[in-house]
Amino acid sequence: VILHIALPTPLDRLFEYRFDGLEAPPLGARVRVNFSGRPMLGFVAGSSAESLLTNKKLKRIEELVDARSLFQAELWQTLEFAARYYQHSLGEVLSQALPSAMRQRERSREPGIDYIVLSAATDSSALHRAAKTSAQGALIELLRFGALSTIQLDAALPAWRAAYQQLAKRHVVERFRVSQFDPPPINHSRPSLNVEQQAALNTIHSKARYQAYLLFGITGSGKTEVYLRAIQQVLEKGQQALLLVPEIGLTPQTVQRIRERLAARVGVMHSNLSDSERELCWQSALAGRLDVVIGTRSAVFCQFPDLGLIVIDEEHDASYKQMEGFRYHARDLALKRAHLRGIPIILGSATPSLESLRNASANRLHLLTLSQRARAASLPRIELIDLRTQSQQDGLSLRAEQEIRAALSAGEQVLVFRNRRGFAQQLQCESCGFVPHCPRCEQALTVHRKAHALKCHYCGYQQPLHSACPSCHSEQLAAIGAGTERIQDALAQRFAEWPIVRIDRDAIRSKGALEKALARVGDGAPCILVGTQMLAKGHDFPKLTLVVVIGCDAGLHSLDFRASERLVQLLFQVSGRAGRAERPGRVLIQSHQPEHPLLQLLFKQNYTEIAQHLMHEREQTKLPPFAAAAMLRAESADVLRLQEFMQQARALFPVSQTLECFGPMPALLPKRAGKHRAQLVLTSAERGTLHQAIKSWRTALPALTRADLHYSLDIDPMDFS
Ligand SMILES: [Zn+2]
Ligand SMILES: [Zn+2]
């Protein structure tokens, strides 16, 4: 038999290999082959009795790894569709849909996680005497409160294995394997539903076949409760459910809450897990040992014996789009899977994407609305602070400072939102004007004062913080613009009697640090939270009544066509943090342009109205969702080579009345990590026309490339950076 193998290479074709068996293995089974002298794992994607190659040229399949397909029929069809739609090699698409451990290892181990535990019957002081080395003592100390997984031990005590070997010989500790997720005890309390929530749920329950819903509910309206009830219904029928959440939204508390509420076996899948933890979840779901999987983007490839529902929380979130390699959108692939499987899917958001709103108005999505805040809380009041008439220091206006003091004195909590980490945006010499730039990206370096460094936020380059100007040796260096670090310092000086908790990627570096920081806020005592968008989503602070937004003006002027949509969504999310319980909330937005139409619309707290405004702009400019778009991105250290490639690529694109091509133009970040970057934007009012044109056009691109030039194609790009 001749097998057609999909290999994880950028080459978009199948490869023929000879298989010494009587019949072809099933589609989607893994095989080990030799590809250009390298061993590689590929997937069976077809078979035939004959080959165009001579028998001599045809290599043998070295090993059949799986006897069965790794993909259920509907996921296989979804992935074949994805390879065509995103114009990406099938081998890479299939490979991306598997946990990385299964892409590399040839035979996957029996799923399970090993735990280490102290042997029963001895008390801990006796155990401590048994320790012959300090590492052994440390291991015993760690295990005193219960079993820990090998993964947790790797993080807590890197030298634990040697200590474990010695202690295990003396029967002080034992190892055991857990191969399934046990459901927690049933928690009977659940909030009652209001009329709108009940109506939404009834609609969802009324149909068991494919139907896509857009659950459009303002922050605090209880979308999660609707998801949970819908999931519960599916579990009662003996089916399973998949819940996708954005990157930042997934905390252990969220998972624990859902696990207890559903009393179900819940698996978790996100990028912070180890390869083996991800594989365990994937395998367990497939084997029917899980009722629900909660996960970020890549969990969309999880399989279940009888999947009954898919829920996508915060469907507008940009993290659902994979930005490199196989650039898929998890929401769009989830819709495809639900359709092929014939099951309902719920997209939920307080600020739906313009794409989904348009689909709702075209009846491709059934719109369900939640307009009431649960628990009778009212929406926060928004106020704009005009920075042209207010003095400010370290990014904070006098007015904001007064309001913060009043809230703290009243025993309430405050959130200061600034979506930029570091101390200052840039350093500037006051005598000669010199500004230190990243040598690789040509962007101003961000000042990180605590770390005594100047850092590039685009490529990670860093250098020590100057004490004198490298150009004129003056010591008058000014830090310009305030990041979260500086705002925290400034607040600490002014509000010394209250705790200040900062949450951003610099302050929260280790696993568990976010939980610790949130726990400090959770007790409700007055305090100030300072943070970036890490704070904007999903966290509930019942005692938070005041939100101050600093430095959002940049989002009003970005060249990225989605920037204003993102800014509005972010501001709605942040505002939604205020006044979630019985206390009314207030939001102060500092701006140099309070008369800007978007900020004026924000005032009214009516997302539908803002969306219509943005929609109108997109229609005028013929941008998504009013056109299909794709982007060719390229980068090279050699700017002439880059320009030449882009010009040639453009010349080959069949521009017509229905097909447009913009560019080549420099990317929003024209240089990154030493490479010049440029892009072509391709659009058409008809998606099919665009995709067909790209399909033939892209086959000509490999011939145009040269050494040190890298390009990629992005279908439905999420940003123009
Ligand atoms: Zn100078
Ligand atoms: Zn850089």
Least confident interval from 180-189, 416-425, 691-700:
180-189
Confidence class for position 117, pLDDT limits 50, 70, 90: confident
Percentage of residues in the chain having pLDDT higher than 70:
93
Residue with tokens 């001579």: 54
Distance 705 CA to ligand 2 centre (A): 25
Distance 454 CA to ligand 2 centre (A): 11
Q: How far apart are CA 703 and CA 613, in angstroms?
A: 44
The dihedral sign for the CA sequence 504, 506, 509, 515:
negative
Helices (H), 207-342: 223-236, 252-262, 275-286, 330-341
Residue type, 653: F
DSSP class of residue 60? B
Confidence class for position 344, pLDDT limits 50, 70, 90: very high
Say which ligand is closest to the CA of 457: 2
Distance 460 CA to ligand 2 centre (A): 6
Distance 324 CA to ligand 2 centre (A): 19
Distance 435 CA to ligand 1 centre (A): 8
Q: How far apart are CA 77 and CA 337, in angstroms?
A: 8
Confidence class for position 649, pLDDT limits 50, 70, 90: very high
310: part of which helix (H) or strand (E)? Answer: strand 307-312
Distance 455 CA to ligand 2 centre (A): 8
Confidence class for position 108, pLDDT limits 50, 70, 90: very low
Q: How far apart are CA 449 and CA 346, in angstroms?
A: 45
Distance 462 CA to ligand 2 centre (A): 8
- Within 10 angstroms of residue 68's Cβ, the number of other Cβ atoms is 9
Contact status, residue 590 vs residue 387, Cβ threshold 8 Å: yes
Query: 239: phi > 0 → left, psi -120 to 50 → alpha, else beta; which?
Result: beta
Say which ligand is closest to the CA of 475: 1
438-487 pLDDT, tens digit per residue, is: 999 889 999 999 999 999 998 889 999 988 999 999 999 999 989 999 99
Distance 10 CA to ligand 2 centre (A): 28
How far from the centroid of its chain's Cα atoms is residue 79's Cα?
A: 20
Contact status, residue 370 vs residue 215, Cβ threshold 8 Å: yes
SS3 label, residue 106? coil
User: pLDDT value at position 179?
Assistant: 46
Distance 477 CA to ligand 1 centre (A): 8
Distance 701 CA to ligand 2 centre (A): 29
Buried b or exposed e, range 457-471, using 16+ CB within 10 angstroms: bbbebeeebbeebee
600-633 pLDDT, tens digit per residue, is: 888 777 899 999 999 999 999 888 999 999 999 9
User: pLDDT value at position 538?
Assistant: 59
Say which ligand is closest to the CA of 473: 1
Say which ligand is closest to the CA of 436: 1
SS3 label, residue 437? strand
Distance 445 CA to ligand 1 centre (A): 16
Say which ligand is closest to the CA of 429: 1
User: pLDDT value at position 580?
Assistant: 62
First to last CA, the chain: 47
Distance 460 CA to ligand 1 centre (A): 25
Distance 425 CA to ligand 2 centre (A): 14
Say which ligand is closest to the CA of 471: 1
User: pLDDT value at position 189?
Assistant: 62
Contact status, residue 628 vs residue 686, Cβ threshold 8 Å: yes
Q: How far apart are CA 576 and CA 533, in angstroms?
A: 13
Say which ligand is closest to the CA of 468: 1
Say which ligand is closest to the CA of 432: 1
β-strand pairing of 426-429 with 477-480: antiparallel
624-638 pLDDT, tens digit per residue, is: 999 999 999 999 999
Is 203 a residue whose pLDDT tops 50? yes
Distance 468 CA to ligand 1 centre (A): 8
Distance 466 CA to ligand 1 centre (A): 11
Distance 395 CA to ligand 2 centre (A): 25
HSE, side-chain direction, 13 A CA sphere, residue 108 = 24
Say which ligand is closest to the CA of 443: 2
Residue with tokens 């409760």: 225
Please state the rounded mean pLDDT for residues 327-338: 97
Nearest Cα to Cα of residue 542 among 577, 568, 572 = 577
265-288 pLDDT, tens digit per residue, is: 888 898 878 888 888 889 889 888
Position with higher pLDDT, 579 vs 37: 37
Say which ligand is closest to the CA of 472: 1
Distance 451 CA to ligand 2 centre (A): 17
DSSP class of residue 555? G
Here the tokens at position 310 are: 């898919």
Distance 481 CA to ligand 2 centre (A): 19
Distance 470 CA to ligand 1 centre (A): 7
Nearest Cα to Cα of residue 681 among 658, 640, 715, 710 = 715
Residues with Cβ within 8 Å of 629's Cβ and at least 6 positions away in sequence, in order, are: 623, 681, 682, 683, 690, 716, 717
Contact status, residue 281 vs residue 151, Cβ threshold 8 Å: no
